[in-house]
Amino acid sequence: MTEVTSSLTKEQINERFRQCLREVDSFIKAKNVSDAKQKFDEAKRLDPVNPYLSAFESRLQLLESSTFSPTFGQQGTTVVGVREVFSDKLRLQVEAEAKSQALPSWKKMESSAFNGIEDINLRGAKSVKEMGSELLKKYHQQIALDRKKIEDEATQLIEVERRRLQEEFTAKAARQNENVRTVRAEVRREMENNFLRMLELISKQYERKMELLDIHVPDTKTDALTHYKKKMRTYYAQGEPTQDEAKKLMELKELLELTYDEHLAIESEVREELYMYSLRRKILLGEVTLHTYSKIDELRNQYKLSAEQASRAESMVFSRVKKFDVKGRILIVDAEAAHNEMVGNGLNERSFETLVAANIQTALEILNNEFVDLIISDVRFPEGQFEGFKFFNAVQEQFTLRRIPFILISSNQDTMLYRCAAQLGVDDILFKPLDVELLNSVIEGKLKRYRELAQV
């Protein structure tokens, strides 16, 4: 620990550590890796053994390694050099035509030359050698002129043909590219539609399975906070979550789109509630009194409460125990208001504190916010035939509630109820109208047994 942190109190270090994690959470969401790592290192120096560090470190590593750069294939086009092939063919053809055209002319000139020779021989004006040279010169000049003319015409024809072929090739290439783009767009659109249909089908199947498994996905912010608080109670039951549990909480926070400040607020509430629950239970068991400071300090350290939180929770618990001086708190869940009043008055006279709920939802809210030593619930409610059994299962799913004794009551003495209750593990089942004395004896026996097991 550095000199700066050594001068701070434990509460100031905790607050500074939480502030660092808030900033790390914000930087990760903004994809700012460098600032997130800097704040993460500062948090690690403040509290190197905190279980949430591993969760944030995993998120940082995932952010650093995540890359996504989709590419699409492009069609290359190779142009065939047709100019040389066509030029060779045309040159050969032109030379052949030139030869065929020049041959008659040559023969004609040759005939004229022979006639000239005869005339020369007859007239004796010139020698045969001079006449041949002159004719040969004229012949070569005519051949050169004809060749140049043919080459010029061939060049013009080749250029025209080249331009025509180039325009034709460009047009075909443009049409081909347009066809390729059209086909790609159709294929991509079809793939996207198929993918969306598949996602919709998977979503419907997933929602159906979630419904069959009776799993509720939070729809509102309030539901998300309630679900997160419920899950946190389970992980904080022993005072501090493990690294794996801390990672799961961070993943759930991201899934529910909660902020880190909301996480800290819920964490503070849960620590204080669990501390109050444990403190009250130990008071009822006789393990803690106003003078057993060491036991109270152990609980404070276990749930890592600040002095203000611990003082508030202890004041509430001790004042409530002193005020009521009760043997236990009983939750009565029944849709009949008259029956609730009768049972509640009878238990109050026998030094029990009672809480009343007319439906399952209200009962679960009470259990999430109050301390209860025993639950008495009717089997049937207006919203369903056997909602009492579902209520029992909901209680058993919560770690902090599953060891609370649970008694079912029913107005019908049916052997099927005995079998169902026994299979589920219900502590007892009684029938209406309830005998308050019998109920009192059953409650005292269950509480005694529960408190003995709690001491083991």
Reported as a single tens digit per residue, the pLDDT across 29-60 is 888 888 988 989 988 898 888 888 888 888 88
d(CA 210, CA 449): 38
CA dihedral 64, 66, 70, 76 (to 10 degrees): 60
Residue 239: DSSP 8-state? S
CB-CB contact of 235 with 245 (8 Å): yes
The amino acid that residue 229 corresponds to is K
d(CA 246, CA 407): 35
d(CA 249, CA 245): 6
Buried b (16+ CB within 10 A) or exposed e, 108-144: ebeeebeebbeeeeeeeeeeeeebeeebeeebeeeee
CB-CB contact of 214 with 22 (8 Å): no
Beta-bridge partner residues of 333: 357, 377
The pLDDT assigned to 377 comes to 92
User: Of 333, 426, 419, 343, whose CA–CA distance to 383 is shortest?
Assistant: 333
0.95 surpassed by pTM: no
d(CA 169, CA 116): 57
Strands lying side by side in the sheet with 352-357: 352-357, 328-333, 374-378, 406-410, 428-431
456 residues of the chain, pLDDT tens digit each: 455 556 778 888 888 888 998 998 899 888 888 898 898 998 889 888 888 888 888 888 888 887 343 433 444 433 344 445 445 555 666 566 656 665 666 566 556 655 655 665 566 556 667 777 888 888 888 888 888 889 888 889 899 998 999 998 889 888 888 888 888 888 888 888 888 888 778 877 766 665 554 456 777 888 888 888 888 888 887 778 888 988 988 998 888 889 989 998 998 888 888 887 777 777 766 677 655 667 777 878 888 888 788 778 777 776 665 554 557 789 999 988 888 888 888 888 888 888 999 888 889 888 887 778 899 998 888 766 568 888 898 888 887 788 889 999 888 777 777 788 888 888 888 888 888 889 888 898 888 887 766 554
d(CA 145, CA 149): 6
Note the pLDDT tens digit of each residue in 196-248: 888 778 877 766 665 554 456 777 888 888 888 888 888 887 778 888 988 98
CB-CB contact of 408 with 426 (8 Å): yes
The pLDDT assigned to 291 comes to 58
* Long-range CB contacts (within 8 A, 24+) of 425-432: 425/396, 426/392, 432/339
User: Of 388, 452, 383, whose CA–CA distance to 426 is shortest?
Assistant: 388
* Region label for 257, one of left (φ > 0), alpha (ψ between -120 and 50) or beta (otherwise): left
d(CA 231, CA 217): 13
d(CA 340, CA 327): 19
Tokens 């041949």 identify what position? 132
In this structure, the chain runs to a length of: 456
User: 3-class DSSP state for residue 87?
Assistant: helix
Could you give the angle at which helices 52-65 and 33-46 cross, rounded to 10 degrees? 160
Dihedral pair phi/psi, residue 386, rounded to 5° = -125, 50
Tokens 């799961």 identify what position? 248
Run of H or E residues at 163: helix 128-212
User: Of 16, 147, 157, whose CA–CA distance to 86 is shortest?
Assistant: 157
Pair of tokens at residue 93: 């053809």
Pair of tokens at residue 25: 């959470």
